[in-house]
Amino acid sequence: MMDNSFCSEYWPQTTDLNQDSPFLHPQVPNINSFQLHNYPESFQGETASASRSHSEAEKRRRDRINAQLSTLRKLIPTSEKMDKAALLGSVVDHVKDLKGKTTEISKMLNTPTDIDEVTIEHLNEEENKGSASESKRKDNSVILKVSFCCDDRPELFSELQRAIKSLKLTVAEADITSLGGRIKGIFLLCLSENSAKDVCMHSLKQSLRVVLCGIAISPSTSNYRIKSKRQRFFLPAQFS
Amino acid sequence: MMDNSFCSEYWPQTTDLNQDSPFLHPQVPNINSFQLHNYPESFQGETASASRSHSEAEKRRRDRINAQLSTLRKLIPTSEKMDKAALLGSVVDHVKDLKGKTTEISKMLNTPTDIDEVTIEHLNEEENKGSASESKRKDNSVILKVSFCCDDRPELFSELQRAIKSLKLTVAEADITSLGGRIKGIFLLCLSENSAKDVCMHSLKQSLRVVLCGIAISPSTSNYRIKSKRQRFFLPAQFS
DNA sequence: CGTGACACGTGAGAC
DNA sequence: TGTCTCACGTGTCAC
């Protein structure tokens, strides 16, 4: 019997090792080499024990690598009976393939990226040119185009709604796409004419940015992203 | 100097080996071990040469694997300074991640799959129920919903157009999505009332199926798919 | 016979 | 110090 119980003893194991039949691959000896290897009885000093622990550690290392290779082999179709190098070759192909597909899709769709961001744009700003004071506008209609990208989470929508409401803005249009635990949204926000009269445009945008960044930008982004590698996927929400 | 000139001598190399600095990884010895290893002059028989060629072959094998690992390392962000096992772990994560994203997208979009297929559906068929003979219809309007999925290629559209025209059908609506060298199309095809009078519905569908399968279903699918792994990506066409 | 693929134990360098 | 990783050469099985 193959003894690989020490395989995942301390290592940050990202993949599930199935305990039964760890490597479904040709030429895997089904004997424990440590029992097979006869160390001479006359040479049982600390050198021998060091050598033994060394070879055991090395076996653990090999097992870790091979375990990943075997999970990789399960992910790649028709990779059974493949060479190690050939397997890795098809993995390279698949990664490139999938990367190409996802970036291609990202171009045609409003797809979330890996970078948190919040942008705010004043759509009808050109009507204010020539006006010295920003708070005195010729036109009362205010439309803000807001786009954000961040990790998805259940409370996100209610937080956004509360934030938008608190600034007396209303959602004219929204396009939200969620993908792989990330979410990207583009909102068209309107300020009612009544409210628009009393508001300084600059501070409104500032406030909106602050509150949106508080919602969207994850604290210590890099750490969070590393921890939340494995996330669920779900279908995109689309509402108006 | 590292001598790995024999690295890609015959092997089906799917990834580009950059000749300079083949492995940007710690602990790569920069000496040629075959020159270092001194075989005893008194023992230059065929056993020695066999052993030598064996170890050289083994080195070639290791180099192939390591070359793939290094290309893999380039594909995975922040995988520099990673363990071999850790690198493979991230590769597993990335593959799962990308797979999840693409299947998720496939669900929300009319995205091509890896399986060639042609389906033909008679949209207003229910109006013919109760009619004994299929060639005598109460209604002259004929709408066929056709969907196909196959490898993309430049001549595909002209071939489709010619096929559709030859059956006196016209395109009422078309939704075509191309992704990763594969293409999926959904057509609504109309038969003009004049022509509809003279045509047997059954044989029309049969003919359409035959001609579409001739266009869409690749000959010896599996071989073709394996050969055309690396394909270009381009944005989807959408016309009506 | 050789050739290829794999697991193994070992020496060496890094921390 | 020990512990981890890597490249290496070897034994071995399969074709």
Protein-nucleic contacts, chain A 88-127 to strand D, CB < 7 Å: none
Under a CB-based contact definition with an 8 Å cutoff, are residues A131 and A137 in contact? yes
Three-state secondary-structure class, residue B146: strand
- Highest average pLDDT, of A26-30, B45-49, B103-107, B173-177, comes from B173-177
Provide the pLDDT confidence category of residue B26 given band limits of 50, 70 and 90: very low
Q: Calculate what percentage of chain A has a pLDDT beyond 90.
A: 37
Nearest residue to B152 via CA among B198, B120, B124, B116: B116
Quick one: closest CA in B to A232, which residue?
A: B100
pLDDT tens for each residue of B109-123: 788 888 999 999 988
Q: Decide which of A31 and A83 is more confident.
A: A83
Under a CB-based contact definition with an 8 Å cutoff, are residues A52 and A39 in contact? yes
The sign of the CA dihedral B48, B50, B54, B56 is positive
Cβ-nearest to B108 among A14, A69, A236: A236
Kindly state whether A115 is in contact with chain B, defined as any CB-CB distance less than 8 angstroms: no
Provide the pLDDT confidence category of residue A177 given band limits of 50, 70 and 90: confident
Which pair of structure tokens corresponds to residue B68?
């793939």
- Chosen for mutation from B103, B231, B233, B235 (greatest number of chain A CBs closer than 10 Å) is B233
CA of B80 to C1' of D10 (A): 31
pLDDT tens for each residue of A207-230: 999 999 999 986 654 344 433 333
**Does residue A128 carry a pLDDT above 90?**
no
pLDDT tens for each residue of A81-115: 899 999 999 999 999 988 888 887 777 778 888 89
Q: Decide which of B114 and B237 is more confident.
A: B114
Q: Decide which of A142 and A117 is more confident.
A: A117
Provide the pLDDT confidence category of residue A41 given band limits of 50, 70 and 90: very low
| Strand C closer than 7 A to residue B50 Cβ | yes
Any residues with CB less than 8 A from the CB of A207 and at least 6 apart, and which?
A167
**Does residue A187 carry a pLDDT above 90?**
yes
For B42-133, where are the alpha helices, taking DSSP H only?
A: 46-75, 84-108
Q: Please tell me the predicted confidence (pLDDT) of residue A4.
A: 35
- What span, in angstroms and rounded, lies between the C-alpha atoms of B102 and A211? 32
Kindly state whether A229 is in contact with chain B, defined as any CB-CB distance less than 8 angstroms: yes
Tell me the pLDDT of chain B averaged across its residues: 72
**Does residue B228 carry a pLDDT above 50?**
no
Q: Do A91 and B91 touch (CB under 8 A)?
A: yes
**Does residue A35 carry a pLDDT above 50?**
no
Cβ-nearest to A95 among B67, B95, B108: B95
Q: Which residues of A touch B11 (CB under 8 A)?
A: 85
- What span, in angstroms and rounded, lies between the C-alpha atoms of A59 and A211? 53
A156-166 and A201-216 helices, crossing angle to 10°: 170
| Closest-CA distance of chain A to residue B112, Å | 11
Provide the pLDDT confidence category of residue B163 given band limits of 50, 70 and 90: very high
Provide the pLDDT confidence category of residue B139 given band limits of 50, 70 and 90: low
Q: Do B96 and A75 touch (CB under 8 A)?
A: yes
Q: Please tell me the predicted confidence (pLDDT) of residue A120.
A: 95
Tell me the pLDDT of chain A averaged across its residues: 72
Q: Please tell me the predicted confidence (pLDDT) of residue A94.
A: 92
Q: Please tell me the predicted confidence (pLDDT) of residue B40.
A: 44
N- to C-terminal Cα distance for chain B?
Answer: 61
pLDDT tens for each residue of B73-99: 999 988 888 999 999 999 999 999 888
Quick one: closest CA in A to B14, which residue?
A: A89
Which pair of structure tokens corresponds to residue B198?
């003279």
Q: Please tell me the predicted confidence (pLDDT) of residue B217.
A: 87
Q: Taking a contact as any Cβ pair under 8 Å apart, which residues of chain A between 154 and 193 contact chain B?
A: 179-180
Kindly state whether B102 is in contact with chain A, defined as any CB-CB distance less than 8 angstroms: yes
Q: Tell me the count of A-B CB pairs closer than 8 A.
A: 126
**Does residue B36 carry a pLDDT above 70?**
no
Q: Decide which of B205 and A36 is more confident.
A: B205
Q: Please tell me the predicted confidence (pLDDT) of residue B140.
A: 64
**Does residue A122 carry a pLDDT above 50?**
yes
Q: Please tell me the predicted confidence (pLDDT) of residue B58.
A: 94
pLDDT tens for each residue of A42-96: 445 666 777 788 899 999 999 999 999 999 999 998 888 899 999 999 999 999 9
Q: Please tell me the predicted confidence (pLDDT) of residue B84.
A: 95
List the single protein residue with the shortest CA to C1' distance from C5: A83
Provide the pLDDT confidence category of residue A154 given band limits of 50, 70 and 90: confident
- Chosen for mutation from A9, A70, A91 (greatest number of chain B CBs closer than 10 Å) is A91
Q: Do B75 and A99 touch (CB under 8 A)?
A: yes
Cβ-nearest to A92 among B71, B85, B90: B71
| Strand C closer than 7 A to residue B27 Cβ | yes
| Closest-CA distance of chain A to residue B96, Å | 8
**Does residue A183 carry a pLDDT above 50?**
yes
**Hey, what long-range contacts does A7-13 have (CB within 8 A, 24 or more apart)?**
A7/A60, A7/A63, A7/A64, A7/A67, A9/A60, A11/A64, A11/B85, A12/B86, A12/B89, A13/B89
